[in-house]
Structure formats: structure tokens, C-alpha cells
């Protein structure tokens, strides 16, 4: 019985760690969205004036590109973490069901 309880605690810790990573990635995604939105405003102004964003705001354009790449990477990481979390939750539920039997 102690072994099962210990295993449950390990599974819960694993789930909590995944959830913490997921929360951190989601918070980071929000930060990246703010960077992208700010640059979008400048890009729209340039478009309306017939200017080229990359020429008018070269540093911001490269920061935008870096943020966009990181955003895509973070989204993929979030998808992976959600899958891992789903698996961890299912494992916990299966263990709990085994304990009930």
C-alpha cells in the first residue's frame, strides 16, 4: 500500500511540474503576443503610408521576426506539454481505479 501511495505522489508531482511548465509557457506566449501586436501597429502605419516596415523600423522588424519564431516554438511546446499532462492525468486516474479494486 505504501508503494502505491508513493507512486501516486510521484505521478502528482510529475503532473504538477508539467502544469507549472505549461503555465510558464502560456505566460511567455502572452509576452510575445504583446511584442507582435506592438510591431503590427507600426507595420500597419507603414503599409497605410506606402512605406516598408523593415526599412522604417529595422530593429523592431528583426525583433518581430525573432518573437514570431519563438511564438511558434512556444506554441508547439505548449501542445506537447498539454499532451504530456493529459497522459499524466490518465495515468493517475488508472492508478486510482486500480486502488479501488
Helices (H) and strands (E) in the chain, counts: 3, 0
Residue spans per domain, the chain: 2-100
- What pLDDT does 1 receive? 47
Tell me 100's DSSP state: H
The structure's pTM equals: 0.76
Rounded average pLDDT per 10-residue block, the chain, 101 residues: 61 88 97 93 94 95 95 97 91 76 62
CA distances from 65 to 26, 44, 78 (A): 19, 16, 20
Amino acid at each position: 500500500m505504501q508503494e502505491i501511495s508513493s507512486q501516486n505522489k510521484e505521478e502528482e508531482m510529475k503532473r504538477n511540474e508539467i502544469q507549472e511548465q505549461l503555465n510558464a509557457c502560456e505566460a511567455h506566449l502572452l509576452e510575445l503576443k504583446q511584442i507582435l501586436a506592438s510591431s503590427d501597429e507600426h507595420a500597419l502605419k507603414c503599409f497605410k503610408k506606402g512605406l516598408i516596415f523593415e526599412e522604417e523600423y529595422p530593429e523592431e522588424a528583426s525583433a518581430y521576426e525573432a518573437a514570431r519564431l519563438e511564438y511558434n516554438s512556444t506554441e508547439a511546446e505548449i501542445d506537447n506539454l498539454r499532451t504530456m499532462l493529459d497522459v499524466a492525468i490518465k495515468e493517475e486516474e488508472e492508478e486510482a481505479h486500480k486502488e479501488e479494486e
